[in-house]
Every structure is written in structure tokens, then in C-alpha cells.
Chains A and B, each alone.
Chain A
Amino acid sequence: MARKSLRVWRWAAMLVALSVLTAGCAQGGASSGSVHLNFMVWSYGIDTIQDNIKKFQSSNPSVTVSLADTSWFNYHDTMATKFTAGGAPDVAYSSDHWLREWVSAGWIVPIDQYCPSLASYKDEWAPYALQGMTLNNHVYGLPYYADMVIFIYNDKLLKQAGFDHPPATWEELTSQAQTIKSKGISQYPIDIPMKKDDPWTIEIFYSMVYGRGGHMFDSNTNPTFAESGGPAEQTLSWLRSAYASKILDPAVFESAEPDVVKTTGSGQHVFTVLAKYNLAELNQGQHAQKGNFKMALMPGSQHSTVGFVRFYSLTKAAVSHGDAAVKASCNFLQYFGGKTDGQYKVVKRWAVEKGLGFANLPLYDDSDVSKSINAWGNVDLERQQAKTANVKEGLTRWWGTWDIYAREQIDNAVSGSSTPSQALQNMNTKWSQLKS
């Protein structure tokens, strides 16, 4: 009986060894013949991405690509888990506000080092986008899209209230919103995404401060936002006052970007501050007020706003997978963020089909792009706003951590559980702690 049992054990051990060997050979075969890339994105335009991947694969038959996506709201945390616990993709979406953090953690690598030919495109990128992808003189990505935070209003409802122009200052916005509310056109005329886990909150807050001609940090990334009575405090006080007087939607703290688009599109609100691509959605999507939305320069004395860039990044995982994986990743980045047959095909596609902004300046001269933007927006106004757009200030290794804390403090000040001054002081203290 014992001998028989031993035989069974030996056979089992041989089977396990054989299966391990087979699996090893299979992997080796795959690596010798073709390269497989993992591409991680946040969940937007997945059908378009799949189609782009299909086209890339048909022109690069030796490369196969797997796509994985997760919500924008979880993207940072999901990527942190993937990068640290294993399963990191080869190529991934990233953003200017995570650049320092991801580089410090060693998660992404400079493309000018691993894909030198791609960095030559940088001369054609908008300065704020290049700045958002550059660290220590290295370029870490190719733009997926670059856009601005803009002021959006419902022109039809504004005219219905008797106004023939959008507000130029925040004080004028208050006045118009109060009139709209008193006339019963909208119970809560203003809505902006301020849900605590929505990363847009901080970009919108920056834009409101920039619009007033203010800054959040100086050129040495020292905080300037806590200046007593400064533009940041004025912005928080304005938000608090709008919330208290109910011209700002009381549900603002549970409203993320998609919620605001939905409710503004339905006509519940007249004014909002969002990323520009939402104007395309509001005017072309399935909304009751479709076609009635326009952009205006960011209210304030300077009309400045935030320009941001989301980009394709090459990860350290791709480098660890070997030269073949790096080469395939570079080709992939070239197709998605660079030129194919002399054209920014994928970037143009996003602009024309989805209204996404772009950092690739030559596209402004493309007639298809201009025609497409004018169908839902205003190319001239967009160019004018772009001239005053600034990159987010204070982008440091710890900015991502500070951002999350800052959002909580902004919520606290707007909801009235702390004063604007106290919230800004807390943000200042947190910055100092993180810096040290």
C-alpha cells in the first residue's frame, strides 16, 4: 500500500514539474515571437480606445495589447496598488498632478530616455502641457489630451432671466444667480463638482483663484494661498456665501463631475465650472438643454484658468519586461500620442469625436478640428482662454497627498464647519508638514 502511494506521489510530482515546464516554454515562445502589452486607462471612451488598439495592432502585428480600465475617481488608488503589489501595466494614463509622485515612487520612466524619438514632438505642444509632463528636464509622457477648466453657462436660461451677456466677475455671477433664483428659473443656479473624492475639485478651485488674478504657490512652490484676504480666501468666502444663500446647489458635496453634467444638462442649473470637454457633451449629448450651452472666460479680473494635461506614460514595468517590451511600448506611444503618416491621428480623433482638448498646437489649424469645435464651442474664445491658462502650481512629490487634504478643507469651509481663513491655514500647515 505504501509503495503504491509513493508511486502516486511521484507521478503527481512529475505532472506538476511538466506543467511548470510547459508554462515556462509557452511564455518563452510568446516573448520570442511577439510582445504583449498591458495598457491601463480610466473609463472614458472605451470603445474608441478599443478601436484605436485594433488599428494599432493591425499595423503592428507582432504586438498584442490588453486594455484594462477603472473609474477616474479610483484611478490613483488603483494604480498605486498595481504599482506596489504587482500587475503594473506597461503603458498607462497619467496626469500632471501625479507626475512628481509617480516619478519619486519610481513607477514611471522618462520617455526621452527610453523613446528618444518621441520627445521631438515637444516643440509642437502647448507650453503648459509640456510643463505638466516635464520633471528635472525629462519628459515623462505624450499628451492624451490637454484641456482647460472653463466657465459654462446656459445661454437660453440666462436670456430668459433678462441678461444679454455672461458674468465677467464672481460678484456679477452672484447678482445674476440671485435674479435667476428669484425669477424661479432655477432653484440653485450654480453647481460645481465638489464631491470629496472628485479630483476636479482642486483644479476648479485653482481656476477660480487664477480667474481673480491670484496664485496658489510662488515659483519656489511656497504656498501663497493662505495670504489673509487674498484671492484664495476671497474664493472660499465667495463659495461659502453662495452655498449659504443657496444659489450654489446644496447637493454640491455629493456631486461629482458626471452628476453636475447630468443636472446642468437637464436645466437644473445655469452656471458651472468644468473641464472644457464637458461643453461638447452638454451641447451634443442626450440632455434636455442640449445646444444651449456656451463658454465664457473665467470670471475675475484676469480671466485666467487652469490648463492641464493627461498623458500616456511608460512604466518601469515595461522596462523590466525587457527591450522588446520597451520598443513595442514606444511604438504604441507613437501611435497614440504621436504622428502616424504625418498626422496626430488618435489625438485628432479624440478632438473631433469627443471634443477633447489637445496640446498639439498644429491641430488648431486643422479645418476638421475647427469645424468640429465650432459645432459645440467657440474656437476663438477657446484660444483666448488658452492664452491665459496656467499650469497647476505647487506640483511636487507630495502635491497629490496635499490635494486630498485640501479638498476636505475646502468642503469644510464651504459647508461652514470652519472659516475660509482657518481652512487655508490648515492647508498651509499640511503643506509644511508634507514638505518636511
Chain B
Amino acid sequence: MQAEIGLRPNLVRRWANGVPAHPWLTVAPVLALVALFTIFPFIYAAVTSTRQMILTLPDQTPFVGLKNYLDVLQDASARQAAVNAVVFSVVAVTAVTLLGLLVALLLNQPIRGFGILRALVLLPWAIPLVSAGIIWRLLLHGDFGAFNGLLLQLGIVHSYIPWLSSRQLALGAVIVAHVWREFPLPAILFLAGLQVIPPDVVDAATVDGAGAWQRFRYVILPLLKAPLLIVLVYETMIAVTVFDLVYVLTGGGPGSATTLFSWYAYAATFHFLNLGQGAALSFIMAAVLLLFIAIYLRLLRVGRDDT
């Protein structure tokens, strides 16, 4: 059999624990690609984060240990970006999850025409993030935004509101645009979860006298733990690393009002040309993400039975 797949017999050795060599050989190209595109950049970034690497000083790249990390932690702008990122992530993930769940519950109803809606609901998610940013900028602009025009026509406001120029409103506006772009995926995941819940279980709860809220809280929600975990982990990753939307909508302004940690890492790298600090910021961001994910896993404790 080994000869049939074209491998020399002497290559097909066994490891000491009895695992044959050829499975390793077959996955070797994939492993090499992973090493090339994941492990190497990771190690390179780790090394970069411990050096002074400023593009305008290409000949001076000394080892500086953890200085880049310390500089970031002591930098008031980075701290502001971190605070913004936490606010953004908490509000955005909560909103995306709740909206996704509500839409899924609605689409799960046996109502004629909802089949088309299930496809349409994916539309915002299918739009590239940069395009979504441009759409929202044109909608919200304080001088010519269509949303402002609508509010004015309806008599709700007396003059255009500078959604993206106001320090109080700008982060909220970015969150709204982000939620609009992101909610379809959770909605579809929750819908898939809802559709595999046996109707008998829900019927039994109804027979036992459970109301709509009780059925949702004690029957449906526990059975949605697995998709909920996926949604929370995925959306947290997206919220913490979101960049494109800020880039197009506000450029991190006004002032530092919408400067998120991911945007700040970009700015450190490409605006300030400080690759060492940019790499340090990226590692800090990755560490925070891992922490978030660990907390979710701990809180939700999804066991094999749930999946």
C-alpha cells in the first residue's frame, strides 16, 4: 500500500511510539506554509518588539529588551486608546450579540417570506468593511449626511448633527456602524443553533406551564451555549482588532476620541514608522484577546454535551 502511493519504503519508517512517518510527510508542505506565514512572522514580530526599530533610523536597531512595552504602557495616548478600545469592545460585542440573537429569534418564526429575509440579513456582512465605512460616512456626515437630511426633513432636529466630529458622539457612531456590519453572522449562527433545538423540548416546557421568557431563559438559551461562545469569541476578536472602519470613518479623531488600540498600533507602525513599538502594541493586543477568550471559556464552560 505504501509503495502504491509512490513513497520509497525506506522513507516510510515508524517513530519510536509507533506513529508511521508518511502522515507527517503528507502534512509537511502544509506545516511548512504555516511556519512560513504564521510562525516566522510571529517570531520576527517578537524579536522586533524587543528592538528599537524606527524606519527613519535604519542603521540603528539596538536590542532594548522590554522598553517598547514599557513605553507603550507609560504613553498617555496609548492608555487613552486602550480605554476607548475597552468601551468599544464591551458595547459593540454586547450589541452585536443581542441584536444577532433577536434577529435569529425573529427569523426562526414560521412566517411566510422570512426565507428571503434570511438571505437579505447577510447583506451588511457581505459588504467590504471599507465600503461599509464609506457608506456610513456619507450617511452620518455633519454637513451633507443623508441621515441628518432625513432627521431634518422629519423635523426631529433643527440642524445637522456632527456625529463624527463630536467627541461625545463619534465613538457611538463608529459602534453603530460596526454593529450594523457585524450582526448578520451572529444572527445566522444563532439561527442555525435554534433550528437544531428539538421542538419536543420546547413543547414539553410549554406543557409544564413555562411562559415565553421562561422557555427562552431555561430551555433555549442553555442550548445556544455553543454558538454563543463562538459569537462572543469571534466578535471580541473583531472588536478588539477593528481598524478599517475607524480608518475610513474618523481617522481616529476628533482628537483621540475614536483612537482604538488597533488604530494606535497601526499609527505607531505606519504613521510614526516605529516598528518596534507597533509590534509591542500588537503583542499586548493579542495578550488581551487571549485573556478575554479565557474568561469566556471559563464563564460559559461549554462541555461536550452542549456541543
Contact = CB atoms under 8 A, between A and B. Distances in A.
Contact of B56 (A73, A196, A252, A397): A397
Interface stretch (A253-261, A302-310, A317-325, A331-339): A253-261
Contact of A196 (B137, B142, B166, B254): B254
Interface string A377-418: 000000000000000000001101100110011011001010
Interface stretch (A16-24, A75-83, A108-116): A75-83
Nearest to B274: A401
Interface stretch (A52-60, A62-70, A99-107, A224-232): A99-107
Given A252-B165, A259-B141, A398 B56 contact: yes
Contact of B256 (A1, A104, A412): A412
A255 B143 contact: yes
A196 B252 contact: yes
Contacts of A73: 251
Most buried by B among A6, A77, A196, A268: A196
B143 A249 contact: yes
A105 B273 contact: yes
Interface string A1-33: 110111011000000000000000000000000
B250 A401 contact: no
Contacts of B8: 2
A76 B55 CA distance: 13
A105 B255 contact: no
A127 interface: no
A263 interface: yes
B164 interface: yes
Interface in B1-29: 3-8
A6 B8 CA distance: 10
Most buried by A among B253, B256, B272: B253
A169 interface: no
Contacts of A213: none
B143 A197 contact: no
B292 interface: no
Contacts of B3: 1-2
B68 to A, nearest CB: 14
Given A77-B271, A187-B159, A251-B160, A268 B254 contact: no
Given A2-B6, A80-B273, A250 B56 contact: no
A136 interface: no
Contacts of A253: 162, 164-165, 170, 253-255
B225 interface: no
Interface string B157-191: 00110101111001000000000000000000000
Contacts of B252: 196-197, 408
A262 interface: yes
A415 B142 contact: no
Contact of B143 (A8, A9, A263, A397): A263
Most buried by A among B5, B55, B166: B55
Nearest to B6: A5
A84 interface: yes
Interface string A111-146: 000000000000000000000000000000000000
A81 B270 contact: yes
A125 B224 CA distance: 71
Interface in B231-278: 247, 250-257, 259, 267, 270-274
Contacts of B159: 187
A127 B108 CA distance: 72
Contact of A105 (B55, B250, B270, B272): B55
A268 B165 CA distance: 17
A195 interface: yes
Nearest to B275: A84
B119 interface: no
Contacts of A195: 250-251, 253
Contacts of B144: 259, 262-263
Nearest to A104: B56
A302 to B, nearest CB: 29
B154 interface: no
A254 B164 contact: yes
A321 to B, nearest CB: 20
Contacts of B62: none
Contacts of B6: 1-2, 4-6, 8-9
Contacts of A263: 143-144
A2 B274 CA distance: 54
Most buried by A among B6, B56, B271, B272: B56
Contacts of A397: 56
Most buried by A among B142, B247, B256: B142
A408 B255 contact: yes
B13 to A, nearest CB: 16
Contacts of B141: 251, 254, 259
B209 interface: no
B30 interface: no
B156 interface: no
Contacts of B142: 249-251, 254-255
Contacts of B247: 197
A307 to B, nearest CB: 25
A304 B273 CA distance: 32
A251 B169 CA distance: 12
B111 interface: no
Contacts of A81: 270
B57 interface: yes
A261 to B, nearest CB: 12
B199 interface: no
Interface in B108-145: 137, 141-144
Contact of A408 (B164, B166, B256, B273): B256
B259 to A, nearest CB: 8
B164 A1 contact: no
Contacts of A196: 250-255
Given A81-B270, A408-B256, A250 B162 contact: yes
A428 B22 CA distance: 64
12 contacts: A8-B6, A73-B251, A80-B55, A81-B270, A105-B273, A195-B250, A196-B252, A251-B160, A253-B254, A255-B142, A411-B254, A415-B254
Interface of A: 1-2, 4-6, 8-9, 73, 76-77, 80-81, 84, 100-101, 104-106, 187, 191, 195-198, 249-255, 259, 262-263, 268, 397-398, 400-401, 404-405, 408-409, 411-412, 415, 417
Interchain residue pairs A-B with the least CB separation, the first 5: A251-B142, A5-B6, A196-B253, A197-B251, A253-B254
Given A254-B142, A411-B254, 6 more contacts: A2-B8, A73-B251, A77-B271, A263-B143, A400-B271, A417-B255
